[in-house]
Amino acid sequence: MNPKVIITCAVTGAGDTVGKHPAIPVTPEQIANSALEAASAGAAIVHCHVREPETGKGVRNVDYYREVMERIRAKNTDVIINLTAGMGGDLMIGDGETPRNFDESNTDLVGPVERLLHVAELRPEICTLDCGSLNFGDSNSIVVQTPVQLREQARLIQSYGVKPEMEIFDSGNLWFAKQLVTEGLVSGIPMFQLCLGIPWGAPVNTQTMAYMVSQLPVDCVWAGFGIGRWQMPMAAQAMILGGHVRVGLEDNLYLDKGVYASNGSLTERATEIIRLLGAQVATPLEARSILGL
């Protein structure tokens, strides 16, 4: 069991959750305030996407990321900021016999440099690196990250002096992430995030998490999470297996059945679980030491 557990709060994500919850953070101010709420509740890391304020849809706007970071830092200089780099790999193929007729309104495919513009300019301590392609749900949506693209993204992130959190959605993602480490494209202590329950990636259950942990390299740092109602069970599972945890509205909208969550309440629940299981919650300073930041 991990005796000192880092909590990451994934504040808002880019999914279609606006309208499914009464208070999804959408504007930069709302996202920053929700991140600060999570930090006050015990999160050492806040993982931030940004959304278009008028529509609530996920975007890659550098100015929105800048505002989020500035608002967080104006009130909290300790919490670790982790910016997503997951936007820019969405491909919606055409229906039926016309798969090449891409749905342009739901396709957002850009190259590694453009995908990382906000990371290059703002230099957060951590950014994500999604380590493979994935059928995303039951539609024609595919999230695209090729080995060539990923190697270049890893090289760029390394050159910016930012730590990549390698997002692992399936066992092949983990295989490739370890290859990035072997090739020297990841500096320092490797950091992995095991993402369970996203259709159609790795299923969310104890056996899958245990298997993926068994394949991790020695001397890495890892965290894990499950989506929806599996968020807290997987938080407990991750710390028991020696890892760290992630909670937040990006992955789960409810605190209890029928009770809407906030990022603060989800972080408080994770803190309670960690302490009841006999461990301690890491401060941002302790998290930096663990992660080698």
Per-block average pLDDT, block size 10, for the chain (293 residues)?
97 94 97 98 98 96 98 98 96 95 93 97 98 92 96 98 98 98 98 96 97 97 97 98 98 97 98 98 98 97
Give me the pLDDT at residue 84, please.
98
Q: State phi, psi for 227 to the nearest 5 degrees.
A: -90, 160
- Residue 236 token pair: 């407990």
Strands 134-135 and 108-109 turn out to be: unpaired
Domains of the chain with bracketed CATH: 4-86+118-131+144-291 (3.20.20.70)
Dihedral sign from CA coordinates of 38, 40, 44, 48: positive
Q: Fill in the amino acid letter for 11.
A: V
Give me the pLDDT at residue 166, please.
98
Give me the pLDDT at residue 245, please.
98
Show the 3-state SS of 38-100.
HHHHCCCEEEECEECCCCCCEECCHHHHHHHHHHHHHHCCCCEEEECCCCCEEEECCCCCCCC
Give me the pLDDT at residue 137, please.
86
Give me the pLDDT at residue 136, please.
87
CB-based burial, 109-121: b 16+ in 10 Å, e otherwise? eeebeebbbbbee
Q: At what angle do helices 28-41 and 263-276 cross, to 10 degrees?
A: 20
CB 17 within 8 A of CB 249: yes
Q: Fill in the amino acid letter for 72.
A: I
